[in-house]
Amino acid sequence: MKATLDDIEKAAEVVYAHMAPTPQINWPLLGRRSGAEVWVKHENHTPIGAFKVRGGLVFMDWLRRDHPDVAGVITATRGNHGQSIAFAAKRVGVTATVVVPRGNNPEKNAAMEALGAELIEHGRDFDAASGHAAELAEARGLFRLPSVAAPLVRGVATYALEFLRAVPDLDTVYVPIGLGSGICGMISARDGLGLKTRVVGVVAEEAAAYARSFAAGKVVETDSADTLADGMAVRVPNAEALALIMAGVDDVISLSEDAILDAMGHYFTDTHNLAEGAGAAPLAALLRDRQGVAGKKVGLVLSGGNVDQALFRRVLKR
């Protein structure tokens, strides 16, 4: 699961054939709010508004080379991973089928369909949708594409390599955890560059499987993952990702729904960027930790600018 520096640099060649690096910006108002020097990695500025696109591009490049006869893939998602696969599949001439839970973000659904994906709704949450995707893969003869795997980590890690090369003296970086590709990519890039930056994972209290698993030292499933931060709404951790997280992360923080909503609002007022729940969660974690990081240089990964109108209206009303 862990990528080497050479792996990431080769993946970057694939990624940059389709998109430019994203910026990292020091925002003074966030600094005033937190008491730290705050650098934001703007993965909300990718072609799909999330770092997932990098993993999709690298996975599809690997698939086309290693499995040239595959004509169609299937995966499960709450939205950003599905957009990444639809975006990348179209570029290599492969069809993409995406399974989402019922009641999924309608705007993310529309974006996936606009990118060419066949959309199927099934189940009450991501994990139920993932199980159905496995069944459909066998029934339809499609290649089942996981939400976390080595090629995805190699691709996603390119955002971390950009960030840490641009700002190598970060004391701490806060990274949201869905199934784990983003934080595994950050650990890989940090270790590949030989840096001492602390990595802190961030989850929602209503989807705290990775926080509970990190504390227990083993996979701990939850009964539900009913959070407004749909990019982190996972009940069942990936065992390989968890092993890397346990070896390379200083802490995993759980945040309330209110704290995430507040952070979404702070991004809008302080930077005029839209952040979905998973994108804003690292800022919420920083604000919770403000006393411990006062005066230090910290990094936030803003991956996910795909907030729907109804939810953002709630943010503005606050």
Interval 37-90: pLDDT, tens: 999 999 999 999 999 999 999 999 999 999 999 999 999 998 899 999 999 999
Task: Quote the pLDDT of residue 170.
Answer: 98
Interval 123-168: pLDDT, tens: 999 989 999 999 999 999 999 998 889 999 999 999 999 999 999 9
d(Cα 81, Cα 88) in Å, to the nearest integer? 11
Interval 99-109: pLDDT, tens: 999 999 899 99
Amino acid, res. 207: A
Task: Quote the pLDDT of residue 305.
Answer: 92
> Measuring CA to CA, how many Å separate 159 from each of 11, 41, 181, 287?
11, 8, 11, 23
Amino acid, res. 177: I
Amino acid, res. 295: G
For 184-200, letters b (16+ CB in 10 Å) and e give bbbbbbbbbeebebbbb
The percentage of the chain sitting over the pLDDT mark of 70, rounded to a whole number, equals 100
Residue 224 has pLDDT above 90, yes or no: no
Q: Quickly state the pLDDT bin for 171 (edges 50, 70, 90).
A: very high
Please name each of the domains of the chain with its CATH number: 5-51+150-317 (3.40.50.1100), 52-144 (3.40.50.1100)
* Contacts (Cβ under 8 Å, ≥6 apart) of 87: 47, 48, 53, 56, 57, 115
Note whether 207 and 253 are within 8 A (CB). Answer: no
Task: Quote the pLDDT of residue 147.
Answer: 83
Quickly list DSSP for the chain. Answer: -PPPHHHHHHHHHHHTTT-PPPPEEE-HHHHHHHSSEEEEEEGGGSTTSSTHHHHHHHHHHHHHHH-TT--EEEEE-SSHHHHHHHHHHHHHT-EEEEEE-TT--HHHHHHHHHTT-EEEE-SSSHHHHHHHHHHHHHHHTPEEPPSS-HHHHHHHHHHHHHHHHHSTT-SEEEEE-SSSHHHHHHHHHHHHHT---EEEEEEETTB-HHHHHHHHTS----S----S-GGG--SS--HHHHHHHHHH-SEEEEE-HHHHHHHHHHHHHHH-----HHHHHHHHHHHHTHHHHTTSEEEEEE------HHHHHHHHH-
Interval 233-260: pLDDT, tens: 999 999 999 999 999 999 999 999 999 9
Mean pLDDT, the chain, whole residue set? 96
Task: Quote the pLDDT of residue 318.
Answer: 84
Nearest to 118, CA basis, from 94, 146, 139, 98: 98
The residue assigned the tokens 């991956």 is 303
Nearest to 286, CA basis, from 110, 35, 76: 35
